[in-house]
Amino acid sequence: MSGSYEIAVPFDATIFSGNGSQIYTGLAIANLDASNSANVSCTARDAGGNVISNAISVPQLNPLGQWAAYMFPLVQGQVGTFDCTSNTLIGAIATRALGTNALSSLPVISLPASNSTATKIIPDFGVGASFVTDFYVINTSTSAAKFSIVFHDGNGNPVAVPFGNFGSITTLSEAVFAGGAELYEFGTPTTSPPVFGSAIITSEPGITIQAVLRRLGSDGSYYEAAVPAISGSIEIEVPFDATTFSGNNSQIYTGLAGLAPKFETTS
């Protein structure tokens, strides 16, 4: 990232039902200023947008200095957001761990978020065949905001996706409290038949949505990948690695998923 004076990330400090392990959200912040120290102030908010006092404290960062942590006891058992502001440009990354083994990253939101009503896409989701997909919905605005997620299969047709006790749905439409966050989990690793596809997101100002694609491996371990919502492009480029991993002599695979969207963005 090029740096920002304010960032936000979703956090999850609940217990992961898959293996009973604590979920940790880590945060690393770097001061991009080579001359001035960074005074970073972070506020934690729960799912309802309520401030969790003294939950996160960042020391003053030297020029080009860095800080990282993942233990935040006061948010234990909750889902919400960390919102951090700085007097200098900062860069940040968020990490997510299912216990002590499964480690992945989460996209960081640079603020202020767009004030326009936006339509974006999650290029890939999967439920069943060992996959589960979580959606983090964060509202960084000062008022409640609505969003809608519509699921499509590989042919572009609406598709029903298992969603807890609600059965299977083709569309999720909800509102999130000001400053709040919600977590929605779709499917189970054993959902049958499995469902794969993409999701089109429409949201009011202040809403940011990120997906986490999780897989239960044949060895009983869990693996995750963050999938940010994107506005689309007419050209993309990705690195690939098709070598053999020296750690266990396994083949490395690079996957690619995409959607040809048919939507317009309204300002």
Task: Identify whether 258 is part of a domain.
Answer: no
Residue 201's domain comprises: 118-232
Per-residue model confidence (pLDDT) at position 116:
54
Q: Which of 105, 49, 56, 103 lies closest to 76 in space, CA to CA? A: 56
Asked whether the beta carbons of 125 and 186 are under 8 A apart, the reply is yes
Q: Which of 6, 209, 226 lies closest to 118 in space, CA to CA? A: 209
pLDDT confidence of 113, banded at 50, 70, 90? Answer: low
What is the percent of the chain where pLDDT is above 90? Answer: 73
pLDDT confidence of 118, banded at 50, 70, 90? Answer: low
Quick one: how far is CA 160 from the chain centroid?
Answer: 22
Do 126 and 211 have their domain in common? yes
pLDDT confidence of 264, banded at 50, 70, 90? Answer: very low
Last residue of a domain, one of 87, 110, 133: 110
Tokens read off for 100:
């002590």
Task: Identify whether 237 is part of a domain.
Answer: no
**When comparing pLDDT for 99 and 101, which is higher?**
99
What is the percent of the chain where pLDDT is above 70? Answer: 94
Q: What is the CATH number of the domain that holds 93?
A: 2.60.290.11
Residue 40 above 70 pLDDT? yes
Residue 258 above 70 pLDDT? no
CA–CA dist 256, 238 (Å, integer): 9
Do 132 and 99 have their domain in common? no
Q: What is the pTM of this model?
A: 0.86
Segment 242-259 mean pLDDT: 87
Asked whether the beta carbons of 261 and 200 are under 8 A apart, the reply is yes
Scored b (16 or more CB within 10 A) or e, 37-59 reads ebebebbbbbbebeebeebbebe
Segment 131-136 mean pLDDT: 95
CA–CA dist 68, 31 (Å, integer): 12
Per-residue model confidence (pLDDT) at position 18:
86
Segment 123-135 mean pLDDT: 95
Residue 123 above 60 pLDDT? yes
Per-residue model confidence (pLDDT) at position 266:
36
Task: Identify whether 220 is part of a domain.
Answer: yes
pLDDT confidence of 1, banded at 50, 70, 90? Answer: low
Task: Identify whether 260 is part of a domain.
Answer: no
Asked whether the beta carbons of 163 and 172 are under 8 A apart, the reply is yes
DSSP code, position 145: E
Kind of pairing between the strands at 145-152 and 171-176: antiparallel
Per-residue model confidence (pLDDT) at position 263:
37
Segment 201-210 mean pLDDT: 91
Task: Identify whether 244 is part of a domain.
Answer: no
Task: Identify whether 251 is part of a domain.
Answer: no
Task: Identify whether 197 is part of a domain.
Answer: yes
Per-residue pLDDT reduced to its tens digit, 149-197: 999 999 999 999 999 888 899 999 999 999 999 999 999 999 999 999 9
